[in-house]
Structure 1
Amino acid sequence: MFEMNSTINGHKPIGGLHCSKDALIDVFGWFLQVLLACLAFTCLIAKRFCEPKTERRSWLIWFYDTSKQGLGALAIHLANVWLAGQYTGDPCTWYIINFLLDSSIGLLIIFIGIRISQRLSKKPGWEAINFGEYGDPPSMNAWLAQCCLYIGLMVIVKTCITLLMQLNFWERVRDFILSPIDNPKVELAFVMLVIPFFVNILMFWVTDNFLMHRKTKLKLRRNSLNQGLLHKVNLQYRSVDDFIRNHSPESDGLLMDDELLDSEDPPHGHSSKYIIA
């Protein structure tokens, strides 16, 4: 493994490999990484406010859900930064290849892992690994167990992607990707900020939906639907009630059930003559 960053007579580096081996961990590289983390965190805050008010998570539950994803993303990011420097050639291209694989194949692995853990959580004593469920009141132990499980999923993801990266055709992909960009600062900005920002918005949004507990959400929707149906039935009952009052020839002498229930005293002008023995 060696760094291909040499120049010939001051001209553009050979093969477009102009991102130095330490570019990802210099001052500018760390600045872009911190900026990306802040933008991604802001995206998750905005997602919470996009949730319907009747289904919106409390700040504590939101923190429990998003912190798992944040810790997992941090572990994957640091692993990618370290691995990018271990490959031969431009570390920026190796980083972006790893990142895109984590965001596609890795997301599928995460989804499968979360679904398996949710099924296992139905067994007695395994309730703590049900992602998004922390008990009432919320338990930090359940959150800690889910954090460890989620980071374990990230280790599986990174292992699978690293093994996939051993295939030879990635050398050709590396030579092609980002080749039109000549400026090393611009390349680093695209690799560490621009492309990850848009991909992370989609990935964080989808993953947050995986990590949310769906039972409460479905219950709220069911209650809202039931209330709507009861309201419609009540309106129809009132309409029939008004129709009978306005069109029945005996409407002056009849009392509806709801009037009898609402009144404790006998109505004026009506007596037992309307009661048929």
Structure 2
Amino acid sequence: MNSTTTETNSDTGGLHCSKDALTNMFGWFLQVLLASLAFTCLIAKRFCEPRGERRSWLIWFYDTSKQGMGAMAIHLANVWLAGQYKGDPCTWYLINFLLDSSLGLLIIFIGIRLSQYLARTKGWDNINFGEYGKPPSANAWMTQCCLYVCLMIIVKVSITLFMQLDFWDNVKAFILSPIPNQNVEVAFVMLIIPFFINMLMFWVTDNFLMYKDPAKRRRLSSSSDGLLRKLHVKYRSLARKRRRDSESDVLLSADDELLDSETVPIARTVHA
């Protein structure tokens, strides 16, 4: 037992995760599995869209392929950078990934909104994310893909500069420290944690990227307003009917009391 532990520590340099743990056969298997699961989530998202607003498969591919290329570029950069830092590469990969999914998502949102603003004000239709013309133009899609990858490069450069701060050494000292097994640690940083975060991130980013027709939103808003008005009119008509029924019940009860009061003296007269 001791000799095995010593041999493992010498192979990994005293680290839980060796330098090539992210790029060995097990690591690549987890990466392919994660990519497949993330792609499946985007397919499920399309079927969750309302039937009247559901994108065609071509538009869906144009929207999601940008995410796929950007995510692949970021992932490969994180795998390479994790081996360049001093210390456990799994912890460095996880820190990079969490920053990409939080601070990086904010940068992506700002970049997409800025490009859409420039498209409206400058007339640069090809950089208006989610809009490809009618019929859909492959040139617009390619332009948006290149622009999105540039946004991901900006994200990665910003995160890398942010990672130069000294306090990250203290963070990586305790992150994942309770997990002594290398394969379990790789599974956590390459599959388990990224799956849930990627599912949320891909869902949110796809909402940023997909085109939302203003006319359709106005029609949906007007139809919802019309439905509310119909419900309000129906409620008022039911309320009026209820009031009329209650008034009729009061009149009928008054008539019954009057008839009862007249019937009693007549009955007494007959007996007399």
Shorter-normalised TM-score: what interval? 0.7 to 0.9
1:72 corresponds to: 70
Residue in structure 1 matching 2:120, options 116, 119, 122: 122
Separation in structure 2 between the aligned mates of residue 62 and residue 11 of structure 1, nearest angstrom: 47
Count of residue pairs the alignment pairs up? 230
Separation in structure 2 between the aligned mates of residue 139 and residue 187 of structure 1, nearest angstrom: 44
Aligned-partner residue type, residue 64 of structure 2: T
**Closer, same or farther: CA 169–230 of 1 in aligned 2, 3 Å:** closer
1:23 alignment partner, SS class: coil
Residue 228 of structure 1 and its aligned partner are, at CA, apart by 6.1
Answer with 1 or 2: which has the greater Rg.
Answer: 2
1:123 alignment partner, SS class: helix
Aligned-partner residue type, residue 136 of structure 2: P
The answer for unaligned runs of 5 or more in structure 1 is 1-6, 241-277
What whole-Å deviation, never above 9, does each CA across 1:50-98 have from its counterpart, x for those lacking one? 1100111111111000000110000000000000010111110000000
1:41 alignment partner, SS class: helix
1:48 corresponds to: 46
1:183 corresponds to: 181
Q: CA RMSD in A?
A: 2.4
2:90 corresponds to: 92
Alignment of 1:133-172 (within 5 A): 133-172=131-170
1:219 corresponds to: 215
Moved over 4 A (4+): 10-16, 227-233
Residue 223 of structure 1 and its aligned partner are, at CA, apart by 2.1
**Closer, same or farther: CA 11–73 of 1 in aligned 2, 3 Å:** closer
Answer yes or no: is 1:108 the counterpart of 2:106: yes
The answer for unaligned runs of 5 or more in structure 2 is 238-272
Aligned-partner residue type, residue 222 of structure 1: R
Percent identical pairs in the alignment equals: 70
Separation in structure 2 between the aligned mates of residue 206 and residue 229 of structure 1, nearest angstrom: 27
1:260 corresponds to: none
Normalised by the length of structure 1, the TM-score is 0.77
Separation in structure 2 between the aligned mates of residue 146 and residue 9 of structure 1, nearest angstrom: 52
**Closer, same or farther: CA 62–164 of 1 in aligned 2, 3 Å:** same
Structure 1 contact 54–220 (Cα < 8 Å) conserved = no
Residue 122 of structure 1 and its aligned partner are, at CA, apart by 1.4
What whole-Å deviation, never above 9, does each CA across 1:94-145 have from its counterpart, x for those lacking one? 0000000000000000000001001100134411100000000000000011
- Would you tell me which structure has more helix in proportion to its own residues? 2
Separation in structure 1 between the aligned mates of residue 40 and residue 112 of structure 2, nearest angstrom: 24
